[in-house]
C-alpha cells in the first residue's frame, strides 16, 4: 500500500509538472533585491510574468498562454504592434478595473486604454522605475529600404526594483541603445531570423553591455548553443529556459 501511494504521488507530481501551469512554475527565476524577491516566469515566446511586492506585471501577454491559470495584472507592458507582442484579447482577459498599461504610441493606436511611453522616456510605477529603450532593426527587413521594426516604433524596457535592473529587449537587433546599457543585472535578449538577429550577433551585443545574467527569449528556431558559446569566458551567466512548452 505504501509503495502504491508513493507511485500515485509521483504520478500526480509528474502530471502537474507537465501541465502548462506546472511547466511555467518550474521555469520561474527568483532574484533577490533590497525590496524583496522578484519572480520572473517565462510563459511563451516573449510573454513574461513578473511578480514582486504583491504586484503582478505582464510583458507582451499573447496567445496561446492560458491566462485563466495565472493572476490578473496590475501592470501590462507592451513592446510592439506585432501579434506576438500585442494581443488585445489577452490584454482584456488579464485586466481588472485598476490595471495600468504602458506601451509605445504605435500600440496605443490599437490598445487605446494604454498610456504611451516612448523611447528614452522613464516612468515610475509604484516601487518600479520603467525606462523605454529603443528596439529596432539596423539592416533586416522584408525588402530593400524597409525594416521589420522601424526605429522609434517599439520599446525594450529596463525595469528597476529594489536596486536591481532587469532588461527586456523586445524585437531588436544589437542597436547602439542596447550596447550602451549600464549596470544591468538580468537581461532577456531576443534572437530569431529573419526578424531580429542571429544568436552570434545577440552574443556580441550582450558582451558590449555585460549584464550579470542573460536569458535568451523570443528565440524560436535559433541555435542557443551558438549564443552560449559566444559568451564563454566573459563571466556572464547564461540561463536557458523553455519558452515553448508543448
Tens of pLDDT, residue by residue over 22-37, are: 556 789 999 999 999 9
Domain of residue 187 covers 26-238
Q: Is residue 7 part of a domain?
A: no
Provide mean pLDDT across the span 8-16: 42
* Percentage of residues of the chain with pLDDT beyond 70: 90
Q: With respect to residue 225, please indicate whether it lies within any of the assigned structural domains.
A: yes
Note the pLDDT tens digit of each residue in 97-117. Answer: 999 999 999 999 999 999 999
Confirm whether 64 is domain-assigned.
yes
pLDDT of residue 4: 57
Would residue 194 count as lying in a domain? yes
Q: Residue 113 and residue 49: Cα distance in Å, rounded?
A: 20
CATH number, domain containing residue 182: 3.60.15.10
Number of domains in the chain: 1
Q: How confident is the model at residue 174 (pLDDT cuts 50, 70, 90)?
A: very high
- Whether 178 maps to a domain, the answer reads yes
pLDDT band at 15 (very low <50, low <70, confident <90, very high): very low
Amino acid at each position: 500500500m505504501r509503495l502504491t501511494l508513493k507511485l500515485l504521488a509521483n504520478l500526480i507530481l509528474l502530471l502537474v509538472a507537465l501541465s502548462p501551469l506546472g511547466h511555467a512554475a518550474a521555469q520561474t527565476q527568483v532574484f533577490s533585491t533590497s525590496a524583496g524577491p522578484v519572480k520572473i516566469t517565462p510563459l511563451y515566446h516573449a510573454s513574461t510574468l513578473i511578480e514582486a511586492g504583491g504586484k503582478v506585471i505582464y510583458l507582451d501577454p499573447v496567445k496561446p498562454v492560458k491566462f485563466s491559470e495565472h493572476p490578473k495584472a496590475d501592470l501590462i507592458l507592451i513592446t510592439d504592434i506585432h501579434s506576438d507582442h500585442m494581443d488585445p484579447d489577452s490584454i482584456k482577459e488579464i485586466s481588472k478595473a485598476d490595471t495600468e498599461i504602458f506601451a509605445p504610441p504605435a500600440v496605443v493606436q490599437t490598445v487605446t486604454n494604454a498610456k504611451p511611453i516612448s523611447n528614452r522616456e522613464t516612468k515610475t510605477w509604484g516601487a518600479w522605475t520603467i525606462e523605454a529603450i529603443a528596439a529596432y532593426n539596423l539592416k533586416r527587413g522584408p525588402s530593400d529600404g524597409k525594416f521589420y521594426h522601424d526605429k522609434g516604433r517599439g520599446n525594450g524596457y529596463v525595469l528597476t526594483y529594489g536596486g536591481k535592473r532587469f532588461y527586456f529587449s523586445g524585437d531588436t537587433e544589437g542597436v547602439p541603445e542596447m550596447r550602451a546599457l549600464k549596470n544591468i543585472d538580468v537581461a532577456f535578449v531576443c534572437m530569431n531570423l529573419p526578424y531580429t538577429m542571429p544568436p552570434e550577433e545577440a552574443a556580441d551585443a550582450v558582451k558590449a553591455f555585460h549584464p550579470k545574467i542573460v536569458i535568451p527569449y523570443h528565440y524560436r528556431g535559433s541555435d542557443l548553443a551558438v549564443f552560449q558559446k559566444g559568451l564563454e569566458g566573459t563571466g556572464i551567466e547564461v540561463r536557458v529556459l523553455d519558452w515553448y512548452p508543448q
